[in-house]
Structure 1
Amino acid sequence: MTAVQGSLPILVEQDVVLARQAARQAAVACKLRLIDQTKLVTAASELARNAVIYGGGGSMEWSVVESGLRRGLRLVFIDHGPGIPDTAQALTDGWSSGSGMGLGLSGSRRLVDEFELDSAPGKGTRVAITKWI
C-alpha cells in the first residue's frame, strides 16, 4: 500500500470542500470499499464544517494506521476554538449548540469504526476517526 498522509488547513467554508476531496482521495488510495469511502467522506465533511463554524477554523490530518493485521485510514480534526463543555451531551442525537440538526458529531461517530473526541472549554477540540479496510 502506498503511504498516504497529509494535512490541510480548514479555515473557511470552501476548505470543507477541499477536506472532503482530500479524504476521498486518501480513501481511494487506501482501497476502501465505495460504501466505506462514502461514510468516511461524509463524516469528514461534518467534522470539517464543525471546525469552521464552531472552532473558528482548524486543520485536518490524515494517515494510514495499522493495528495487528488491520490497516485503516485515520483522519484527525483539530481546532483551537472555545471547546465543548459537555462532550457527552454533544454526542447526543439532536443536540446542537447552534442552528444545525444536531447530527454532526453523533452522526459522524456512527459512520466510522473508531471515534475519539477530546475537548474542554478553552482547550479547543480534537476529533479522530478511523475507518478500517
Structure 2
Amino acid sequence: MMNIVLNKDTMRIEKEQDVVPFRNRVKEYAVRIGMSLVNQTKVITAASELVRNMLKYGGGGMVLIEVVSKGRDNGIRLTFTDKGPGISDIALAMKDGYSSGKSLGIGLPGTKRLVNEFDIKSVVGEGTIVSIIKWKNG
C-alpha cells in the first residue's frame, strides 16, 4: 500500500541554531497526528541524530517533514538530503558502535531502531539521503 502525503513542510538546516526550531516542528507534527509521548520522543531523538549528522558530515542540507497515511495509520516521514561527501560504506556505517566522528551519538543503527522505516542512499562525492517513517501506532 502506498503512503499518502497529507501535509508537508521543508526546512533548510545550515547551522546548529537551526536544530531546535526543526525539532519543534517535528514535535508539532507528531502532536497534530496524536502520536503518543513515547513515539514523539523516539521520532524526535531519531530526527535529532540525523540532523546533527547532516550538519557535521554533510555541511547541512534540507529536511522534508511530511505527515503520511497508510490505510488508517498516520505517521511522520522525514527525508534528510545533503550534498556532502557521501558515505562510502553504508553497511559499515550501519554497524553498532561504528562512528566516523568522535561522538557518542546513537548513530545510524540506533536511529533505525527508533523508527518503523529507515532508508539510506548515498553517492560518494554527491551526498546522502536518509528517509525515516515513524507511525503513530508503531
TM-score by length of 1: 0.93
1:38 is the counterpart of 2:47 = no
Task: Give how far 1:20 is off.
Answer: 1.0
Aligned counterparts of 1:99 and 1:120: Cα–Cα separation in 2: 23
TM-score by length of 2: 0.89
- Name which of 76, 100, 103 aligns with 1:100: 103
Does the 8 A contact of 2:49 with 2:105 survive in 1?
no
1:77-116 equivalences under 5 Å are: 77-101=80-104, 103-116=106-119
Runs of 4+ in structure 1 off by over 3 angstroms are none
Task: Give how far 1:65 is off.
Answer: 1.4
Does the 8 A contact of 1:89 with 1:95 survive in 2?
yes
- Stretches of structure 1 that go unaligned for 5 or more consecutive residues are none
Secondary structure of 2:122's counterpart equals: strand
Secondary structure of 2:121's counterpart equals: strand
Aligned counterparts of 2:88 and 2:76: Cα–Cα separation in 1: 28
Does the 8 A contact of 1:62 with 1:74 survive in 2?
yes
Partner of 1:21: 24
CA RMSD of aligned residues (A): 1.2
Does the 8 A contact of 1:4 with 1:26 survive in 2?
no
1:76 is the counterpart of 2:54 = no
Partner of 1:59: 62
Aligned counterparts of 2:106 and 2:44: Cα–Cα separation in 1: 15
Secondary structure of 1:7's counterpart equals: strand
- Stretches of structure 2 that go unaligned for 5 or more consecutive residues are 1-5
Deviates more, 1:26-35 or 1:99-108: 99-108
What amino acid is aligned across from residue 91 of structure 1 in structure 2? M
Task: Give how far 1:102 is off.
Answer: 5.4
Secondary structure of 2:48's counterpart equals: helix
Identity among equivalent positions (%) equals 48
Secondary structure of 1:23's counterpart equals: helix
Does the 8 A contact of 2:98 with 2:107 survive in 1?
no
